[in-house]
């Protein structure tokens, strides 16, 4: 399945999640690519949106390759191949520090006027534009599980089968529209896949539905 763009994929995800419409779901995007998608889904489901801040840990010499991830609390997930990729403990400690600083900067930039929306007791749907290794989604689900949502859902347009297997048990439900065997990168499943800028993220969050705080 090829999606024309993120907004089209978001519309299809909203259809797949229609049972949560008008149940005030909290739609949490993993920045940056998923933020415009979460806005669409929140509007379609009549819910609320925010971001969940996690960062991948980059492999030495290969910043596009994830060897793990870190959440906003500092909890670290490492893949089984992190050491094989050349990441010793000193490297991991430095990379975690770098990514935590990025998380702090993004929190200050994205949500300067309000704290993160509390997921406790809520239907929480975590959105990304696709999963490759699944590292950041695993960190996001771990962080949110600790905050006691009523139901925790992972929802993505596309992910390889082996990544979906890694997610088993980490969410109450996983919704994935396409799970191709020949998977190289998320972008190969979009006709139009531009980078989402910080300015776009801020605009989406500023214009999002925050009835509970008004």
**CATH number, domain at 176?**
3.40.50.2020
- Least confident residue range of 81-95, 107-121, 151-165: 107-121
Look at residue 31 and tell me if it is in a domain.
yes
**Residue 34 and residue 104 in one domain:** no
Tell me what the mean pLDDT of segment 88-107 comes to.
96
Q: Domains in the chain: how many in total?
A: 2
pTM here is 0.92
31 burial level (CB within 10 Å; 0-12, 13-18, 19+): buried
Look at residue 12 and tell me if it is in a domain.
yes
**Residue 81 and residue 178 in one domain:** no
Look at residue 182 and tell me if it is in a domain.
yes
Q: Specify the long-range contacts of residues 19-22, CB closer than 8 Å, at least 24 apart.
A: 20/45, 20/47, 20/123, 20/125, 20/153, 21/45, 21/46, 22/46
Could you tell me how far CA 137 lies from the centroid of its own chain?
A: 5
Check if the beta carbon of residue 132 is closer than 8 Å to that of residue 186: yes
**Residue 101 and residue 193 in one domain:** no
Tell me what the mean pLDDT of segment 86-99 comes to.
97
Domain of residue 164, residue span:
6-53+115-208
**Residue 124 and residue 199 in one domain:** yes
């Amino acid at each position: 399945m090829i999606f024309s763009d993120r907004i089209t994929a978001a519309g299809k995800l909203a259809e797949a999640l229609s049972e949560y419409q008008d149940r005030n779901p909290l739609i949490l995007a993993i920045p940056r690519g998923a933020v415009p998608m979460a806005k669409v889904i929140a509007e379609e489901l009549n819910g609320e949106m925010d971001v969940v801040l996690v960062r991948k840990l980059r492999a030495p010499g290969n910043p596009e390759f994830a060897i793990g991830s870190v959440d906003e609390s500092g909890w670290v997930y490492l893949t089984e191949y992190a050491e094989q990729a050349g990441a010793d403990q000193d490297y991991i400690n430095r990379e975690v520090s770098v990514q935590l600083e990025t998380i702090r900067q993004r929190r200050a930039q994205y949500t300067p006027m309000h704290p993160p929306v509390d997921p406790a007791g809520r239907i929480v749907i975590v959105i990304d534009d696709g999963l490759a290794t699944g590292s950041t989604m695993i960190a996001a689900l771990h962080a949110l599980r600790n905050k006691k949502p009523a139901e925790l859902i992972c929802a993505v347009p596309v992910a390889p089968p082996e990544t979906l297997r890694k997610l088993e048990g980490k969410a109450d439900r996983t919704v994935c529209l396409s799970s191709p065997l020949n998977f190289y990168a998320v972008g190969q499943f979009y006709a139009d896949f531009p980078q989402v800028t910080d300015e776009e993220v801020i605009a989406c969050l500023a214009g999002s539905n925050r009835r509970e705080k008004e």
